[in-house]
Amino acid sequence: MNAREIPEIFGTMVFNDKVMKERLPREAYDAVRRAKDEGKPLSHDYAKVVASVMKEWAIEKGATHFTHWFQPMTGITAEKHDSFIEPFGDGEVIMKFSEKSLVKGESDASSFPSGGLRATFEARGYTAWDPTSYAFVKDGSLYIPTAFCSYGGEALDKKTPLLRSMDAFNKQALRILRLFGNDKAKKVTPTVGAEQEYFLIDKSVYESRLDLVHCGRTLFGARPSKGQELEDHYYGAIKSRVSAYMKELDEELWKLGVYAKTKHNEVAPAQHELAPVFTSTNIASDQNQLTMELMKSVANKHDLVCLLHEKPFASINGSGKHNNWSIGTDLDENLLEPGETPADNAQFLLFLTAVIKAVDEYQDLLRISVASAGNDHRLGAAEAPPAIISIYLGEELDAILNAIESGETYLAKEKKELKIGVSVLPPIPKDSTDRNRTSPFAFTGNKFEFRMVGSSSNIACPNFIINTIVAEELRKFADELEGAKDFNIALNKLIRETITNHKRILFSGNNYSKEWEKEAKRRGLLNLKSTVDALVLYPAEKNVELFERHRVLSKQEINSRTEILLENYSNIVHIEALTAIDMAWKDITPAVIDYQRFLLEEIKLKKELGKNASALESRLIDKLSSLADEFALALEKLEKDTAKYDSSWSNLQKAKYCQKTLLKDMEALRSASDQMELIVGKDFGAFPTYEDILYSVKY
């Protein structure tokens, strides 16, 4: 494909606004727009028209089936395909797609995680069309983005709370805009651009490693002699196989209307990144799911495997998904962009302090929003933000907030005095070179970059949480300001007080340092190192109150989510433990025995010739035997402890056991195995090494 074709192919497989405008009768189109923009339900008659036009369009694009595409709590997307055929007359069929099939689907929810919601309700689940995210055709099916809920209306998916949080956010943000005299904006939308990191390796090495196949990460593997130390991979020239892959991936994404924008090599060998142009949180989240899916399927066509796990390799950088979050209006304003007038600037400072307050008050929720077994291996490692949440604003903004707080005159470089509501802020640098890359939540000029999100996670979760906590602070601000006698005085006071009360969350130093851990503790900030420590705080009273107030999640839904996440965590660790045991017996043990036999035979041969074994052979055999003993003991312990794991325990009990016992056992086993790997002969190796994997794509 050449560059001229891109605008032509972009979105060709999407039933987007342009297609609807062209094909739908005017009134039906307007009704869809109202459903999309204002959340007004679509009447039966219009839905009928939309369904029929959508079907005709989909058939032209090669679709024979349709599917409600949803995002259950498993973390991946789900789909069940129905063909358009319907019996007609005697042995004939017609292609049919009713209004009902578009708007609502029924599916057996019993095999999807419900975290206890199922016990009290029917096993049936319902999918409901989300008109704010476009339908598309992929692999011969019409995909209809849907929300997924139980018979009683409880959310069983990741999309529903996201949509609810966007409503809550819109409502509160509009109140603030009105206070600043903005009557024109009709809608405020949180926006997201999610930078997706991934590893790309050759299929053959992947297939010879049970841990990669079952767990998506290596459970064994000695450090390679060359890792990422030279930093020669970051932004390096892209190998031709990788580049062919990236090209096809871009093209496939463009056809599906995904704004794939940048691609480059990342820090670790075999690691890459794709970043899209930002869009609304809901669409960004659907598109990110689609991106991850295509990353895998396109890789397969190139005899490659795309690893989305947060930490596929120990001692090598893991993968994250930098979640760039900002606030946009329907008039294309960015509310986190310092403006050009004093009023715009005061408004900017208010939104900024709302985010600061939200992040400080809901550190636990932000940590929960990225909590998973995989991400635990990444957070706190040297390349990723620690589990402590803090905000980095940059030098200029720091100085401005300091001045506001102390009531001193702020003198920017051009020596202008700053007064909220009276003066214009000095330009805030957007330059990415002076960024603090160790900060988990960094202001980057007109957006915040939340860097803790794991590469495999569904971004709906961090974003519904960010949307809701900021909506809550905006609500409190609006309550206070709406009742104020003098708006400007109240505004100044509010901004100042908020800075004083929440500045402990601001930190510009090195987040990876030991000193920060101590300092954060002194400031009373949370440091929730493990998913388990974080998840138990999900149902805390303040969190329930928050989500219920904004109708994002009910108490029951929060409880169900906590259970599901804990269960998911323990399932993952339990599978890892079983996989480690399998590899220990079936791959590592035979390799070690083989190599020992080889050495012993050599020693025996020498003896027969009347020679002594050399220092090399005897040292090697001694070292190997003692490591093999260590390995055997560790394996025995892991086996015993894994056998004790009881699926009838509560989810919390299981998760704690995994965290405290199984993960530690696996570490011990790995340590012995990795040391042996370093000395066992290459031809005797149990499986492809880190070197083999990380440099498996050669050209």
Q: State the residues that interact with ligand ADP by CB under 6 A.
A: 191-193, 195, 275-278, 324-326, 334, 432, 444, 446-447
Residue 176 CB, nearest approach to ligand ADP (Å): 18
Instruction: Output the CA torsion 392→396→398→403 (10° steps).
Output: -170
Give 302 or 447: the residue with its C-beta nearer to ligand ADP.
Answer: 447
Longest dimension (CA), the chain: 104
Q: Which does 500 bind (CB under 5 to 8 A by kind): Mg ion, ligand ADP, none?
A: none
Size of the site for Mg ion (CB under 5 A): 1
Cβ–Cβ under 8 Å, residues 217 and 311? yes
Give 213 or 277: the residue with its C-beta nearer to ligand ADP.
Answer: 277
Give 188 or 534: the residue with its C-beta nearer to ligand ADP.
Answer: 188
Locus of tokens 């580049």: 243
| Cα 602 from Cα 580, distance rounded (Å) | 31
Residue 281 CB, nearest approach to ligand ADP (Å): 9
Q: Which does 191 bind (CB under 5 to 8 A by kind): Mg ion, ligand ADP, none?
A: ligand ADP
Residue 377 CB, nearest approach to ligand ADP (Å): 25
Token output for 363 = 């550190």
Give 229 or 431: the residue with its C-beta nearer to ligand ADP.
Answer: 431
Residue 448 CB, nearest approach to ligand ADP (Å): 9
Buried b (16+ CB within 10 A) or exposed e, 80-110: eeeebeeeeeeeeeeeebebebbbebebebe
DSSP 70: B
Give 340 or 545: the residue with its C-beta nearer to ligand ADP.
Answer: 340
Give 423 or 446: the residue with its C-beta nearer to ligand ADP.
Answer: 446
Q: Which does 209 bind (CB under 5 to 8 A by kind): ligand ADP, Mg ion, none?
A: none
Q: Which stretch binds Mg ion (CB under 5 A): 8-16, 317-325, 552-560, 586-594?
A: 317-325
**Contacts of Mg ion in 321-340 (CB under 5 A):** 322
The dihedrals phi and psi of 583, each to the nearest 5 degrees, come to -70, -35
Residue 427 CB, nearest approach to ligand ADP (Å): 16
C-beta pairs of 206-214 under 8 Å, 24+ apart in sequence:
206/305, 206/693, 208/687, 208/688, 209/687, 209/688, 209/693, 210/579, 210/582, 210/583, 210/587, 211/576, 211/579, 211/580, 211/583, 212/305, 212/307, 212/312, 212/693, 214/575, 214/576, 214/579
Nearest in space to 547 (alpha carbons), one of 280, 160, 151: 160
Which residue number has the CB closest to Mg ion? Answer: 322
Q: Which does 618 bind (CB under 5 to 8 A by kind): ligand ADP, Mg ion, none?
A: none
Q: Which does 595 bind (CB under 5 to 8 A by kind): ligand ADP, Mg ion, none?
A: none
| Cα 233 from Cα 216, distance rounded (Å) | 22
Cβ–Cβ under 8 Å, residues 494 and 176? no
3-state secondary structure of 44: helix
Token output for 151 = 């018979």
Give 435 or 606: the residue with its C-beta nearer to ligand ADP.
Answer: 435
| Cα 471 from Cα 376, distance rounded (Å) | 28
Give 35 or 192: the residue with its C-beta nearer to Mg ion.
Answer: 192
Which residue number has the CB closest to ligand ADP? Answer: 193
Residue 324 CB, nearest approach to ligand ADP (Å): 3
Q: Which does 447 bind (CB under 5 to 8 A by kind): ligand ADP, Mg ion, none?
A: ligand ADP
425: left (phi over 0), alpha (psi -120 to 50) or beta: beta
Residue 195 CB, nearest approach to Mg ion (Å): 5
Residue 475 CB, nearest approach to ligand ADP (Å): 22
**Contacts of Mg ion in 542-571 (CB under 5 A):** none
DSSP-H helix ranges across 192-341: 203-207, 210-215, 240-255, 281-301
The binding site for Mg ion (CB under 5 A) comprises 322
